[in-house]
Amino acid sequence: MDALERELRQHRLWTLKPEFARFRVYDELLENEFRAPAEQAVRMARAVRGMVSFAAASSPFYTALFKRLALTAGDIEEPGDLARLPTLTKHDLLESASELLVPRLPPGEKLHKATKSSGTTGRPVAVMHTVNSTVMFGLLRQRTARWHELDPMQSRIDVRPRFDIFRRPDGSTIADGEYTSLPQWHYLGLHFHTGPEYGINVSTPMERQVEILQRLRPAYATSFPGVFEEWLLANSGRKPVDSLQAIIGIGAQLTPSLRARLEASYGTPVHMSYGLNEIGKVATRCKAGRYHVNTEQCLVQIVRDDGSPCAPGEVGRVLVTGLNNAAMPLIRYDTGDLAEAVDGPCPCGRTLPSFGDIAGRYRSYAGLPAGSRERVRAVRVAIEAYPPDGLTFLRRYQLHQDLQDRYMLRLRTVSPVPDAFRRHVLKAWEPVLGSPPSPLAIVEVDEIAAAPSGKLIDFLSDFHTDWSLALRPTAQAPVPAGT
């Protein structure tokens, strides 16, 4: 069976409700995934030209930028020409939000709402979206679910920060410890026949999350990859509920070692998609391990620090250009993420442009002493590779770096830390100790707070003062756990 046929078989699991039976847009999304590469390139160039000429004419920020650079929109004919424009940083977005906003929308476009994301600085970044941009965000959910081979008639659960979980009918958000339930999947249930969907705030204590999972028995779960790891920790290292057939990670980070551990412990695939509130659904990871770009929504370019394109195999910055948000065009937006550039056809058979694994956020290590990334990695890998049966004492962990480049591994535990675990972590530390040495202390704490966004932070550095102020654990004086 060829790739297209396989995809059509998945697509047929999705039955439109009678009132949408003539809706063709989901079929078009599928057709777009298999167009000849040359046609993909032509369509992308046309979309880029359209967005650039619109932005240059309508967004005060881009009108001024083109003038300053003595460029016209006609100088940008294809994606490669975008390198003539500077990247747009999160800082630019914060400082120039009002200039980026298009004062008068073209006919047929309507303002919808602003999305906010916290970014790494903790200052919220707000991006205004049109109705069209928001609708595309929703439509692409079907592509993502189809690629992950989900059966829409099964149940799913979403575990996210409170304000990202769908509201009760009266508009209120749920409290920690509660869950919401909808008779159909959020958004996709409007158009398709689906099973039920549930939601939990990610800040709900993990033991309670496991209880809720065991009561609701969902087939699919969506959350940050770190949450899937904590469910294991909260359930003596075992899969929290045997009903789970697939887990779907959101956000950027899933290390190969955590993927391996989750797949082994859950006995299910771990799927990933990559989205940004500033843009929408950017890309979905296929079974062959590539992230294919949702070209209906954006263009992705992987570049070096100087802005030039990366060669295949090279890891560089992920720049995204939005293609359908007329309210606030973002061109060469620097996501703060790193990914590998790839070339050539993907074994999965889809022809949408793609990039390789996301290698983490470079901002997390910018300005940190040499060796920081390797040390954090050593600890993560050591914990992820530890036998699950041996981790029953642990509920959450966080590595902390102080301004003297000393490290503290904080453990929130329910029973004493076994000596074998300490030895295992300290042994993993030896090769990254460095010179002068960066010591590692292992301590037990009462609580480890999540970030204001609800994300679980497993590494905290005092070199990032904004993070450390916001995230100081509630236990100010950690109690050393033995010697």
Q: List the structure tokens of 355.
A: 């990039």
Q: Work out whether 25 is an interface residue with Zn ion (CB under 5 A).
A: no
Q: What is the closest distance, in whole angstroms, from the C-beta atom of residue 345 to Zn ion in the complex?
A: 9
Q: Which residue, 29 or 200, has its beta carbon nearer to Zn ion?
A: 29
Q: Which residue, 290 or 410, has its beta carbon nearer to Zn ion?
A: 290
Q: What is the closest distance, in whole angstroms, from the C-beta atom of residue 143 to Zn ion in the complex?
A: 13
In whole angstroms, give the CA distance from residue 39 to residue 442. Answer: 56
Q: What is the closest distance, in whole angstroms, from the C-beta atom of residue 34 to Zn ion in the complex?
A: 11
Q: Which residue, 186 or 290, has its beta carbon nearer to Zn ion?
A: 290
Residue 304's contacts (CB-CB under 8 Å, 6 or more residues apart) are 310, 314, 316, 317
Q: Which 42-71 positions form the footprint of Zn ion (CB under 5 A)? A: none
Q: Work out whether 348 is an interface residue with Zn ion (CB under 5 A).
A: yes
Q: Choose, by CB under 5 A, the member of 48, 346, 378, 391 that binds Zn ion.
A: 346
In whole angstroms, give the CA distance from residue 330 to residue 320. Answer: 8
* DSSP class of 405: S
Q: Which residue, 206 or 342, has its beta carbon nearer to Zn ion?
A: 342
Selected range binding Zn ion among 135-143, 231-239, 347-355, 458-466, rule: CB under 5 A = 347-355
Using the CB atoms, write b or e for 97-125: b if 16+ within 10 Å: beebbbeeeeeebebbebbeebbeeeeeb
> By the 8 A CB rule, do 162 and 179 touch?
no
Q: Which residue, 256 or 345, has its beta carbon nearer to Zn ion?
A: 345
Selected range binding Zn ion among 20-28, 57-65, 107-115, 286-294, rule: CB under 5 A = 286-294
Size of interface with Zn ion, in residues (CB under 5 A): 6
Q: What is the closest distance, in whole angstroms, from the C-beta atom of residue 286 to Zn ion in the complex?
A: 3
> By the 8 A CB rule, do 168 and 180 touch?
yes
Query: How do strand 180-182 and strand 197-201 relate by DSSP bridges?
Result: antiparallel
Q: Choose, by CB under 5 A, the member of 42, 57, 175, 288 that binds Zn ion.
A: 288
Q: List the structure tokens of 208.
A: 């309670």
Q: Which residue, 221 or 346, has its beta carbon nearer to Zn ion?
A: 346
Q: What is the closest distance, in whole angstroms, from the C-beta atom of residue 362 to Zn ion in the complex?
A: 25
> What does each C-alpha distance from 207 to 202, 227, 262, 445 come to in angstroms?
12, 12, 18, 18
* DSSP class of 389: G
Q: Which residue, 85 or 341, has its beta carbon nearer to Zn ion?
A: 341
Q: Which residue, 249 or 454, has its beta carbon nearer to Zn ion?
A: 249
Q: What is the closest distance, in whole angstroms, from the C-beta atom of residue 147 to Zn ion in the complex?
A: 9
Q: Work out whether 283 is an interface residue with Zn ion (CB under 5 A).
A: no
> Mind spelling out the 3-state secondary structure of 29-94?
HHHHCCCCHHHHHHHHHHHHHHHHHHHHHHCHHHHHHHHHCCCCHHHCCCHHHHHHCCCECHHHHH
Q: Is 344 left (phi over 0), alpha (psi -120 to 50) or beta?
A: left
Q: What is the closest distance, in whole angstroms, from the C-beta atom of residue 256 to Zn ion in the complex?
A: 17
Q: What is the closest distance, in whole angstroms, from the C-beta atom of residue 318 to Zn ion in the complex?
A: 17
Q: What is the closest distance, in whole angstroms, from the C-beta atom of residue 3 to Zn ion in the complex?
A: 9
Q: Which residue, 317 or 350, has its beta carbon nearer to Zn ion?
A: 350
Using the CB atoms, write b or e for 360-395: b if 16+ within 10 Å: bbbbbbeebeeebeebbbbbbbbbbebebeebbbbb
What is the residue type of 378? A
Q: Work out whether 286 is an interface residue with Zn ion (CB under 5 A).
A: yes
Count Cβ atoms below 10 Å from residue 264 Cβ, excluding itself. Answer: 9
Residue whose pair of structure tokens reads 């003596």 in the numeric block:
236
Count Cβ atoms below 10 Å from residue 86 Cβ, excluding itself. Answer: 14
Q: Which residue, 295 or 398, has its beta carbon nearer to Zn ion?
A: 295
Q: What is the closest distance, in whole angstroms, from the C-beta atom of residue 221 to Zn ion in the complex?
A: 23
Selected range binding Zn ion among 44-52, 180-188, 203-211, 350-358, rule: CB under 5 A = 350-358
Q: Work out whether 290 is an interface residue with Zn ion (CB under 5 A).
A: yes
Q: List the structure tokens of 189.
A: 């249930």
Query: H or E element: which one contains 356?
Result: strand 354-361
Selected range binding Zn ion among 279-287, 329-337, 393-401, 468-476, rule: CB under 5 A = 279-287
Q: What is the closest distance, in whole angstroms, from the C-beta atom of residue 288 to Zn ion in the complex?
A: 4
Q: Work out whether 37 is an interface residue with Zn ion (CB under 5 A).
A: no
Q: Which residue, 350 or 396, has its beta carbon nearer to Zn ion?
A: 350
Interface residues with Zn ion (CB under 5 A) are: 286, 288, 290, 346, 348, 350
